[in-house]
Amino acid sequence: MPKINQNSVIQLDTLTRTYLDTLESFIHFETTDEQYLKDEITSYGCQQVLPMMENMPIEELTRFKSNLKISLLKTNGYSSLADILSSAPEKISAINGISEDTALFLFDACHKIQLDLASVSHFRLRPQEQQQGILHALYKMQMHPSLSHEASELSALYKERFLSLLKDIQPLKKNAFLSFFTPFWTKNKANAAFTQLQAMHEGLPGRRMEDLIEKDRQIEQISFEDLLIHYRAHTAQYENLTEKTDDRFVDYDILEGGIPAEMAEEINRYHLDLDLVKASLRRYQVFGVKYILSQKNVLLGDEMGLGKTIEAIGAMAHLAFNGAMHFMVVCPAGVLINWQREIQLHSHLHPVILHGKDKNALEEWINFGGVAVTTYQSAQNYDLPDDFYMEMLIADEAQYVKNPQAKRTQKVRELSLQAERTLYMTGTPLENRVDEMCELVNALQPIIASQLESRKYMAAAPLFKELLAPVYLRRKRDDVLDELPGIIYTDEWCELTPLERTNYISHLQTGSFNQMRRVSWDSPHSSKAARMIELVESAEEEGRKVLIFSFFLDTMEEIARLLKDRCIGMISGSIPLIKRQEIIDAFSNAKPGAVLVMQAVTGGTGINLQAASMIIFAEPQIKPSIELQAVSRAYRMGQTQSVSVHRLLATDTIDEAMCEMLQKKQEIFDAFADESVIAEAENETATQSEWIHDLIQKEKEKHHIPITPLN
């Protein structure tokens, strides 16, 4: 064994103490990260109020000290408080007649005013370089808990052993003279401890510690581009952390839909239990859940894409956590499967599909509870026992039940009599449809409806909105979301008709991959087409234009035929550049509700279309980059509206397998945050027939169709 010298002992001692200190700091990340975030917010706030201080004359400082030589300061170029802050005390004291104490006073007084102004200013969290420090602090708060957990585990396993060995090697740190007087057995024990301590550093404990330090280094050194990628994927978490730390980032008037402050304060006091919710709710969504629960019978009118479904699920989850068992959702057929999937994805609630005349499903729900999901048509097939009671009834796309003479309207109102709470949901703006609004309000809170009836003529006045406040809550995407808003993705799951299912199985039997990808579009009365038209109509209501992408020319032609005059034109690879620009110009100048249909691989190249704020994909694309490039045509700097992306998907088809495959590829991209990595992975798989063959074989197995071997 090589001789142990004093320097090697000191180095090992220092390394061990550094490791132990690092472990301790990792364990207490929560405290240091919170302080780091507060410091970054303070720094950002101080920068934001500087323009305000440019308009504050230097005479303001005489409020703090009366005998200041203002004229002398102004002569030397200091006319505002911002001028003082942009300088330095030593530079100000260099002015003849200004002492060091006065210069320090001026600077400290201006800084105090700056801090005071920053403390009462309100900000928005935005993905921009000025807020890089804040975003980085929030990123660390999300990434560090796993490191803290691992550090605590390492500390529990090895700390006492490290400390014991550290104590035992101390005699080896003595110089040669003092070491001469150290007892032999003490030296032997110290030598053995040194060997063991060195082995720990070179073995598993040391490797785990080095791995932990490397993870922290990567967190500290994340690039701004990668930080933005993470922010856009986890916007809700970033906003929630910011708002919990500093309420200056909360615009209460916007997130509360402009309802009276006293009512909003009362709603905010509502205690919420979200243990059964899997999703992370944004601040405005939490308020929406509290509003639904506290007001009992309400109309939620948040714009499409803001998460009305999540808010409804949150309200049901709270009630279920507190013992409620029965809930019902009545919705259009096109979103039935969406509701089922959203409930399963975002909560621990159990959805029960009531569709057609299946009495067994009804009995299951009545006996065991859960969330019954049915359509307006199917709901008319069911009669509940007279003494049956449910905790909440939800009517989605409530404009379907605006006509009191319609059977579906009467059925929903009948069901609401057996519900403690009734929630109507619609993204359709009702402010300009006063009669429809009053009819819906009448079904929920008749007293308020009677007050509105005599005041319809003043629908745009603040008083009318105040009267509506207890029953109607509406927030707009462009108010709630950021300046360059995050993209809102929604998977629109469609249930195939019997004919569509037959056509699909036929294509599956022949193994035609591209025909399978056209699922639904090759059949009359397409379920995907029905949902597409509903989305386009909603976009028109909200004053938005739509881009629709498909890989297939015949699908594009079918979409254009179905949309008729709404379709401004089609752009594919065969369209000449001059003609393409003419179509784009026509689309840019068209009215809301206009649609431009594009071939995904063509539309994703060299075209900027900020005029569009809704994007629809007719089928899943074969590579994430195709979708990303297509979306980026609308989602870029200069876009003034939030962008919603809708994927039309058919349940129990190749669409599901495609989505899983795309998700895996996207996870590679998220993990490496490197476009070249994902591009390389895509090119590798796209050229392999085995990949497509494997996808088809698995789909055949799922549908019990005999599989064929790969040649």
CATH number for the domain including 357? 3.40.50.10810
Residue 696: closest CA among 683, 711, 685, 710: 710
CATH number for the domain including 92? 1.10.150.20
Residues 559 and 258: their CA atoms lie apart, in Å, by 39
Residue 638 falls inside a structural domain: yes
Domain boundary among 232, 264, 281: 232
The amino acid present at 422, given as its one-letter code, is T
| Least confident stretch, 226-240, 404-418, 631-645 | 631-645
CB 616 within 8 A of CB 547: yes
Residue that the structure tokens 């495959």 belong to: 661
Q: Tell me the C-alpha to C-alpha distance, in Å, between residue 113 and each of 109, 123, 293.
A: 6, 18, 42
- Residue 310 φ/ψ, nearest 5 degrees: -60, -40
Q: Are 464 and 608 contained in the same domain? A: no
Q: Is the pLDDT of residue 636 over 70?
A: no
| Least confident stretch, 96-110, 475-489, 492-506 | 475-489
Residue 201 falls inside a structural domain: yes
- State pLDDT tens for residues 189-225: 888 888 999 999 999 999 999 999 999 999 999 999 8
609 pLDDT tier (thresholds 50, 70, 90): low
Residue that the structure tokens 């550093």 belong to: 201
Give residue 588's pLDDT. Answer: 86
680 pLDDT tier (thresholds 50, 70, 90): very low
What contacts 319, CB < 8 A, 6 or more positions away? 293, 327, 391, 392, 421
Q: Is 547 helix (H, G, I), strand (E, B) or coil?
A: strand
Q: Are 519 and 580 contained in the same domain? A: yes
Give residue 61's pLDDT. Answer: 86
**Interval 149-153 mean pLDDT:** 93
Q: Are 338 and 431 contained in the same domain? A: yes
254 pLDDT tier (thresholds 50, 70, 90): low
Residues 455 and 493: their CA atoms lie apart, in Å, by 41
- Average pLDDT of the chain is 85
Instruction: Supply the pTM of this predicted model.
Output: 0.58
Alpha helices by DSSP H, listed for 28-63, are 29-48, 50-54
Q: Count the alpha carbons within 13 Å of 670 in the hemisphere toward its beta carbon.
A: 12
Q: What is the Cα Rg of the chain in Å?
A: 32
Residues 566 and 595: their CA atoms lie apart, in Å, by 6
Q: Tell me the C-alpha to C-alpha distance, in Å, between residue 314 and each of 129, 239, 280, 296, 599.
A: 34, 18, 10, 14, 38
Biggest alpha carbon distance in the chain? Answer: 105
Residue 517 falls inside a structural domain: yes
What contacts 195, CB < 8 A, 6 or more positions away? 1
Torsion of Cα atoms, 532 then 334 then 619 then 662, to 10°: 130
Residue 1 falls inside a structural domain: no
Q: Are 115 and 141 contained in the same domain? A: no
Residue 281 falls inside a structural domain: yes
Residue 42 falls inside a structural domain: no
CB 183 within 8 A of CB 30: no
Burial of 174 (0-12, 13-18, 19+ CB in 10 A): middle
Q: Are 571 and 651 contained in the same domain? A: yes
What contacts 483, CB < 8 A, 6 or more positions away? 124, 126, 128
Q: Count the alpha carbons within 13 Å of 115 in the hemisphere toward its beta carbon.
A: 9
One DSSP character per residue, 294-310 reads: HHSEEEE-PPTTS-HHH
Buried b (16+ CB within 10 A) or exposed e, 337-375: bbbbebbeebbebebbbbbeeeeebbebbbeebbbbbbb
Q: Tell me the C-alpha to C-alpha distance, in Å, between residue 288 and each of 259, 281, 344, 466, 683.
A: 12, 10, 20, 17, 44
Q: Is the pLDDT of residue 160 over 60?
A: yes
- State pLDDT tens for residues 34-57: 999 999 999 999 998 888 888 888
Residues 372 and 354: their CA atoms lie apart, in Å, by 6
Q: Quick one: what percent of the chain has pLDDT higher than 70?
A: 87
- State pLDDT tens for residues 107-118: 998 998 888 888
Q: Is the pLDDT of residue 668 over 60?
A: no
Residues 33 and 138: their CA atoms lie apart, in Å, by 8
pLDDT top residue among 368 and 235: 368
Q: Is the pLDDT of residue 673 over 50?
A: no
Q: Are 473 and 492 contained in the same domain? A: no
Residues 204 and 201: their CA atoms lie apart, in Å, by 8
* 545-550 vs 567-571, strand pairing mode: unpaired
Residues 627 and 581: their CA atoms lie apart, in Å, by 22
Q: Tell me the C-alpha to C-alpha distance, in Å, between residue 462 and each of 43, 258, 468.
A: 38, 10, 10
Give residue 672's pLDDT. Answer: 40
Q: Are 137 and 69 contained in the same domain? A: no
In sequence order, the β-bridge partners of residue 616 are 548, 646
CB 357 within 8 A of CB 344: no
Q: Is the pLDDT of residue 100 over 50?
A: yes
Q: Are 652 and 682 contained in the same domain? A: yes
Give residue 3's pLDDT. Answer: 63
The amino acid present at 446, given as its one-letter code, is P
Residues 624 and 620: their CA atoms lie apart, in Å, by 9
Sign of CA dihedral 415, 416, 421, 426: positive
Chain centroid to CA 595? 27
Domain boundary among 454, 480, 506: 480
Burial of 232 (0-12, 13-18, 19+ CB in 10 A): middle
Q: Are 534 and 625 contained in the same domain? A: yes
Chain centroid to CA 140? 17
Q: Are 193 and 137 contained in the same domain? A: yes
Residue 241 falls inside a structural domain: no
Q: Is the pLDDT of residue 296 over 80?
A: yes
**Interval 633-644 mean pLDDT:** 61
Q: Are 692 and 623 contained in the same domain? A: yes
Give residue 175's pLDDT. Answer: 57
- Which domain does 100 fall in, by range? 50-120
Q: Are 183 and 289 contained in the same domain? A: no
Residue 40 falls inside a structural domain: no
Taking the chain, what is the end-to-end CA distance rounded to the nearest angstrom?
62
Q: Is the pLDDT of residue 604 over 50?
A: no
**Interval 323-347 mean pLDDT:** 92
The amino acid present at 70, given as its one-letter code, is I
Domain boundary among 96, 120, 144: 120
* Domains held by the chain: number: 4
Give residue 561's pLDDT. Answer: 95
Residues 633 and 639: their CA atoms lie apart, in Å, by 10
The amino acid present at 346, given as its one-letter code, is H
For the beta carbon of residue 274, count every other beta carbon within 10 angstroms: 16
- Residue 373 φ/ψ, nearest 5 degrees: -115, 120
